């Protein structure tokens, strides 16, 4: 979805350069140079964009629901770990980049969805994603959000990243998380409370071409992901007037469950042991969140999360 919009914006920029409006392209490049650091400094959100009526229909299409299990005190800053990535990350976008769902459930908190820095290099597209509340996933960006002295900021990070999208098959419960500890270190350095978030139904929106680990396709996808910074899952779903093939996601409900916060005491120089200890606790709380809610959303009792 983001790729399609980005391609459209880049194509529009090329038209400006090749057409009679090249001077507008030059002015925009100047603006891009001067504004380059904004995605790492809290972005530039627009309540008008976040409140567009189209997002209401977007949420209702699946539909997307946000489930609150515990209070989040707005006097603190939080780092929300979002799982799984899926193909579209629809739950993260629908719940954290559009109003009014999140602010109604968690008043006083401002959500910031961190995405790959590469997206902010796309002309015009960067303005749109920033207006929706998206910011860079760089360390500088996360630090900026979590440094808010008065609290009230919530960083949302899709922990599995682009690599995890290659596991986004219907029924898949595999999360890329065992080696991902950077978010733990950031939480410790800023004293941000950790909150596990699991989005049931995220992997059911598309069917992906079989790509088991070790297969030729998976090897190519992983090499391209390392080179480009984002993955290229081969997926399909339904069309506009038929359900057999297309790129429109299936209408499958998404229930994004926000867990209870894990209190974190600020530690500017955490040791490896301290990071590992908090990481293990986070995995424990994430698994508990999943187990407590899986029966509500059609997950068989014998199935559990797989961490790799």
- Express each pLDDT in 52-104 by its tens digit: 999 999 999 999 999 999 999 999 999 999 999 999 899 999 999 999 999 99
pLDDT score for 4: 54
Q: Positive or negative, the Cα torsion across 39, 40, 46, 49?
A: positive
Residue 1 pLDDT exceeds 60: no
Residue 227, judged by CB atoms within 10 A of its CB (0-12, 13-18, 19+), counts as exposed
Place 228 in a pLDDT band, splitting at 50, 70 and 90.
confident
- In the chain, what percentage of residues exceed pLDDT 90? 77
pLDDT score for 11: 64
pLDDT score for 236: 87
Residue 270 pLDDT exceeds 90: yes
Under 8 Å between Cβ of 150 and 76: no
Place 18 in a pLDDT band, splitting at 50, 70 and 90.
low
What residue ranges define each of the domains in the chain, with the CATH number in brackets? 1-35 (no CATH), 39-307 (3.40.1130)
Mean pLDDT of 98-113: 96
Question: φ and ψ at 13, to 5 degrees?
Answer: -65, -40
Interatomic CA distance for residues 60 and 15, integer angstroms? 35
Q: Positive or negative, the Cα torsion across 1, 230, 98, 283?
A: positive
Considering only residues 214 and 7, tell me which one the structure prediction assigns the higher pLDDT.
214
Verdict on whether the full-model pTM lies above 0.85: yes
Interatomic CA distance for residues 308 and 306, integer angstroms? 7
Place 141 in a pLDDT band, splitting at 50, 70 and 90.
very high
Give the contacts of 85 (CB within 8 A, at least 6 positions apart): 158, 160, 161, 162, 164, 165, 168, 202
């Amino acid at each position: 979805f983001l790729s399609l919009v980005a391609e459209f914006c880049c194509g529009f920029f090329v038209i400006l350069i090749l057409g009679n409006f090249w001077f507008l392209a030059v002015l925009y490049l100047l603006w891009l140079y001067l504004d380059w650091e904004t995605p790492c400094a809290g972005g530039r959100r627009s309540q008008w964009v976040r409140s567009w009526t189209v997002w209401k229909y977007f949420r209702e299409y699946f539909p997307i629901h946000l489930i609150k299990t515990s209070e989040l005190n707005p006097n603190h800053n939080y780092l929300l770990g979002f799982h799984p990535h899926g193909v579209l990350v629809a739950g993260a976008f629908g719940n954290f980049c559009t109003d009014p769902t999140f602010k109604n459930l968690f008043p006083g908190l401002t959500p910031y969805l961190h995405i790959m820095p590469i997206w902010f290099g796309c002309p015009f597209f960067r303005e749109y994603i920033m207006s929706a509340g998206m910011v860079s996933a760089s360390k500088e960006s996360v630090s900026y959000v979590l440094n808010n002295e008065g609290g009230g900021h919530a960083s949302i990070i899709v922990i599995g990243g682009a690599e995890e999208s290659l596991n986004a098959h219907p029924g898949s419960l595999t999360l890329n998380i065992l080696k991902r500890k950077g978010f733990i270190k950031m939480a410790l350095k800023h004293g941000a409370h950790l909150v596990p978030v699991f989005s049931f139904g995220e992997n059911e929106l598309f069917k992906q071409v079989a790509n088991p680990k070790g297969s030729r396709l998976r090897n190519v996808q992983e090499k391209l992901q390392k080179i480009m910074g984002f993955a290229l899952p081969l997926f399909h779903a339904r069309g506009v007037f038929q359900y057999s093939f297309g790129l429109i996601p299936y209408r499958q409900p998404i229930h994004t469950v926000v867990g209870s916060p894990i209190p974190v005491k600020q530690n500017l120089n955490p040791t490896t042991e301290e990071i590992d200890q908090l990481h293990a606790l986070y995995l424990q709380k994430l698994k508990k969140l999943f187990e407590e809610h899986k029966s509500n959303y059609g997950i068989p009792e014998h199935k559990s999360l797989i961490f790799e």
